[in-house]
Structure 1
Amino acid sequence: MSEQSLGFGTLAVHAGTEPDPATGARQVPIYQSTSYVFRDAEHAARLFNLEEVGYIYSRLTNPTVSALANRVAALEGGAGAICCSSGHAAQIMALFPLMGPGCNVVASSRLYGGTITQFSQTIKRFGWSATFVDTDDLEAIKAAINEDTRALFCETIANPGGYVTDLDAMAKIADEAGIPLIVDNTTATPYLCRPIDHGATLVVHSATKYMTGNGTVTGGVVVDSGKFDWSASDKFPSLSAPEPAYHGLKFHEALGPMAFTFHSIAVGLRDLGMTMNPQGAHYTLMGIETLGLRMQRHIENAKAVAEWLEKDPRVEGVTFAGLPSSPSYEKAQRIVPKGAGALFTVAVKGGYDACVKLVDSLNLFSHVANLGDTRSLIIHPASTTHRQLEEEQQIKAGAAPNVVRISIGIEEVEDIIADLDQGLAKATA
């Protein structure tokens, strides 16, 4: 059977891998090697000239890392994928072939705080810029796009607020503008949503989160749909124009649907060096095997916890998109019909101080700057992940001073609720 005909759970276990040809090992080996022996001089020349696919040096490609890239591409329905050292690295890798000095990206104002800082501050050093808009305001998105815009960027389920983005509407706007839509699918995972099915060009992941699922390694992945016409305009010369480092090769003309993937390896990883290590890839491969099982438990627990919190008089509001009261509820039914994820914020009566007390009063929840772990996690974004933002920016990002972000784990839901109950009692006493 082809991979296209296999179900999610089967792909999560089998996609992109086969028994090791040398030993028959069933699990993907950790190829802990920097380099690979060439058959002869001609073989080496063909590899370096992109005339043959193979392994040269582990900054570029590694068999363990390639297996992970192939598996994630299969789960997302993409043509190819590139693995790198973190989710933040994946975002730069996604933008790198598209941008140039003077170019901009139009991004959702509801993003992870670190992404807002990366886009509003750090990318300026490359001569790039970002314009942030409320992605619920489609006219504002259109108005923000100009002749220098090279991409739209959003999250499927926004971190930290749990808001759901209308990917179909975003993709339509991107298509009309002739630019790619880049979607961060970290909080949804391909189990809940495949953005490419909604028109996205590129999908990025922090594999650190749900993909690995156990808080052991960092990693990032960029998945290319293989459907964008990079030669339709002169906006993307890295992919459509001759590449001097490869004797004038035009990546899109020569490689078609795999142009972005090969460029990201042959140029992006070669020169930026944001490489994923093979042991990290191995951990993530093992984590993905149970992704569907874990996500089902995550969303079941999250729904029960959110419903309980919404009724609690010590709580001012809950942003879980699976609640009928959420402004994202209707979108969630279309974009993430299996469930609205397990990440959302809770506004606590008593404001900033009560949030800090709640974080310090919990026992089962871990106070960490992570999400998507098997364990339930909590953080106060305004004093941590979004601390570098002005209060107005925090509010726009869904990280107001009076909210905590919670990532619901796979523990027994009764135990999760009991811990929140006693923590809220102390925080609002």
Structure 2
Amino acid sequence: MTEARQPGFDTLQVHAGANPDPATGARQIPIYQTTAYVFRDADHAAALFNLQEVGYIYSRLTNPTISALAERVAALEGGVGAICCSSGHAAQIMALFPLMEPGRNIIASTRLYGGTIQQFTNTIRKFGWSTKFVDFDDPAAIEAAVDDDTRAIFCESIANPGGYITDLDAVAAVAKKVGLPLIVDNTSASPYLCNPIKHGATLVVHSATKYLTGNGTVTGGIVVDAGTFDWSASGKFPSLAAPEPAYHGLNFHQALGGMAFTFHSIAIGLRDLGMTMNPQGAHYTLMGIETLSLRMQKHVENAMAVAKWLEADPRVDYVTYAGLDSSPYHDRVARICPRGAGALFTVALKSGYDGCVKLVNNLKLFSHVANLGDARSLIIHPASTTHRQLPPEKLAAAGAAPNVVRLSIGIEDVADIIADLDQALAAASA
């Protein structure tokens, strides 16, 4: 007897979570624009609130359109469940919320999006949490930073802004050794290029705003749970593995096993923090994901061509694209991101800070926006925008020096992308 065939990525990106609407037979997932849901009777309502039955109560918690998106992304990432929320930043807080208490800390990579560094440096201190930033190219340093109050390890698969590829296998080995969950932001790679769970990640977070949607219309975030972490082993995660006072004393891990994190995040995280995605945004993201593999292939193809052209240009100091043979991270591409090194990288100009400003001001095809992962080619100067709140030493550590611009290469004709950069570089070097 042959085993049932597992659907491939291209099939899952179209069909996962997308059953025809039972009421109308609608093939595309409807936008369920409703606040609340009618219970069959009092017993049905009680069963839902007791987590004895899965269903819909109130759209701050769950919604059919949003649930379809969660199911699809969980399938693409290889997780057991997912939680959709209002933004990528919200997803990061949702990922940490069940793990943390006042006085606890996380270990995070120095190579992160500037907004994440800000959130982890300052904002989470208001919760009584703190962060130790470490160079994740040094696994021994990660392990040395762990103390009795550490509750998670956090990194990006392809780091923003430089496009550096993290050695997830090495980081996961440290996380396993010290008994901590590994949280990986997979926004810049998407599940098409990288599957962090296969490399040992416990949780995967996304800004759905970026490649998942792919068209610059949605702000959203997603947390995917691998369902493999033993929350009861160390006694460090009482919200998940001890009686939870915020939910009638339920021990989520004991009652729900591998789904403990997912249910806790819905029943308590979304209930109390209210970081809910809207159904229309979920609908746009579902439609975007249907073409994710096609878009990512074109993104990677264009990014490689543009990076090679820039590296050979005498007006350029260096290019950080990991797909280039010259990159110190090139050997990680085949192992961590076997379908390509993404489409996000930085370029350092010999003309310095002023040259970066002139480049940005003279581009015509590129859009100067604080975003990435759009079908359009995008540019930004991190030192004066997304990373400007960082001191010089952290700018350097994040790969956002004053003479650096970040490119997010789109899916336009690559000859047009290069021509636009060429004329703008001429103005920047004049």
> Whole-Å Cα distance in 2 between the matches of residues 134 and 176 of structure 1?
18
Return the offset for 1:139: 1.2
> Whole-Å Cα distance in 1 between the matches of residues 332 and 345 of structure 2?
16
- One-letter amino acid matched to 1:135: F
Cα distance change, pair 145–33 in 1 and its aligned pair in 2 (3 A): same
Q: Which residue of 2 aligns with 1:29?
A: 30
Q: Is the 8 A contact 2:214 2:374 kept in 1?
A: yes
Q: Is the 8 A contact 2:383 2:400 kept in 1?
A: yes
- One-letter amino acid matched to 2:245: P
Q: Is the 8 A contact 2:369 2:379 kept in 1?
A: yes
- One-letter amino acid matched to 2:163: G
> Whole-Å Cα distance in 1 between the matches of residues 189 and 313 of structure 2?
26
> Whole-Å Cα distance in 2 between the matches of residues 182 and 131 of structure 1?
15
Secondary structure class of the residue paired with 2:304: helix
Secondary structure class of the residue paired with 2:158: coil
Q: Which residue of 2 aligns with 1:57?
A: 58
- One-letter amino acid matched to 1:36: Y
Return the offset for 1:16: 1.1
Q: Which residue of 2 aligns with 1:272?
A: 273
> Whole-Å Cα distance in 1 between the matches of residues 333 and 114 of structure 2?
22
- For structure 2, the residue ranges without an aligned partner over 5 or more in a row are none
- One-letter amino acid matched to 2:165: V
Secondary structure class of the residue paired with 1:117: helix
Q: Is the 8 A contact 2:204 2:225 kept in 1?
A: yes
> Whole-Å Cα distance in 2 between the matches of residues 316 and 3 of structure 1?
52
Cα distance change, pair 151–7 in 1 and its aligned pair in 2 (3 A): same
Deviations 1:378-428 (A, max 9, x none): 000000000000111011001111100000000000000000000000001
Q: Which residue of 2 aligns with 1:43?
A: 44
- One-letter amino acid matched to 2:78: G
Return the offset for 1:3: 9.3
- One-letter amino acid matched to 1:406: L
Deviations 1:131-165 (A, max 9, x none): 00110011111111111110000000000000000
Deviation beyond 6 Å, 4+ runs, structure 1: 1-4
Q: Which residue of 2 aligns with 1:215?
A: 216
Return the offset for 1:326: 0.3
- One-letter amino acid matched to 1:296: Q
Q: Is the 8 A contact 1:180 1:228 kept in 2?
A: yes
> Whole-Å Cα distance in 1 between the matches of residues 156 and 282 of structure 2?
23
Alignment size in residue pairs: 429
> Whole-Å Cα distance in 1 between the matches of residues 385 and 178 of structure 2?
36
> Whole-Å Cα distance in 2 between the matches of residues 422 and 39 of structure 1?
65
Q: Is the 8 A contact 1:84 1:275 kept in 2?
A: yes
Q: Which residue of 1 aligns with 2:351?
A: 350
Matched, 1:197 2:195: no
> Whole-Å Cα distance in 1 between the matches of residues 325 and 236 of structure 2?
42
Q: Is the 8 A contact 1:3 1:15 kept in 2?
A: no
Return the offset for 1:4: 7.2
1:221-370 equivalences in 2 (<5 Å): 221-370=222-371
Matched, 1:123 2:124: yes
Q: Is the 8 A contact 1:70 1:81 kept in 2?
A: yes
Return the offset for 1:247: 2.6
Secondary structure class of the residue paired with 2:163: coil
> Whole-Å Cα distance in 2 between the matches of residues 270 and 209 of structure 1?
26
Secondary structure class of the residue paired with 1:5: coil
Moved more, 305-314 or 237-246: 237-246
Return the offset for 1:2: 9.6
Secondary structure class of the residue paired with 2:284: helix
Secondary structure class of the residue paired with 1:305: helix
Q: Is the 8 A contact 1:142 1:173 kept in 2?
A: yes
Using the aligned pairs only, state the percent identity: 77
Q: Which residue of 2 aligns with 1:414?
A: 415
Deviations 1:257-291 (A, max 9, x none): 10000000000000000000000000000000000
Q: Is the 8 A contact 1:3 1:11 kept in 2?
A: no
Cα distance change, pair 3–27 in 1 and its aligned pair in 2 (3 A): farther
Q: Which residue of 1 aligns with 2:173?
A: 172
> Whole-Å Cα distance in 2 between the matches of residues 130 and 353 of structure 1?
34
> Whole-Å Cα distance in 2 between the matches of residues 380 and 337 of structure 1?
29
Q: Which residue of 1 aligns with 2:185?
A: 184
Cα distance change, pair 4–155 in 1 and its aligned pair in 2 (3 A): farther
Deviations 1:147-184 (A, max 9, x none): 11100000000000000000001111001111000000
Return the offset for 1:52: 0.8
> Whole-Å Cα distance in 2 between the matches of residues 376 and 180 of structure 1?
35
Return the offset for 1:245: 3.5
- One-letter amino acid matched to 1:170: V
Q: Which residue of 1 aligns with 2:18?
A: 17
Q: Which residue of 2 aligns with 1:151?
A: 152
> Whole-Å Cα distance in 2 between the matches of residues 35 and 215 of structure 1?
29
Cα distance change, pair 274–10 in 1 and its aligned pair in 2 (3 A): same
Q: Is the 8 A contact 1:226 1:257 kept in 2?
A: yes
Return the offset for 1:118: 0.1
Secondary structure class of the residue paired with 2:174: helix
Return the offset for 1:62: 0.2
- One-letter amino acid matched to 1:95: L
> Whole-Å Cα distance in 2 between the matches of residues 170 and 51 of structure 1?
37
> Whole-Å Cα distance in 1 between the matches of residues 178 and 139 of structure 2?
13
Q: Is the 8 A contact 1:12 1:71 kept in 2?
A: yes
Q: Which residue of 1 aligns with 2:397?
A: 396
- One-letter amino acid matched to 1:422: Q
> Whole-Å Cα distance in 1 between the matches of residues 125 and 13 of structure 2?
38
Return the offset for 1:49: 1.1
Cα distance change, pair 3–382 in 1 and its aligned pair in 2 (3 A): farther
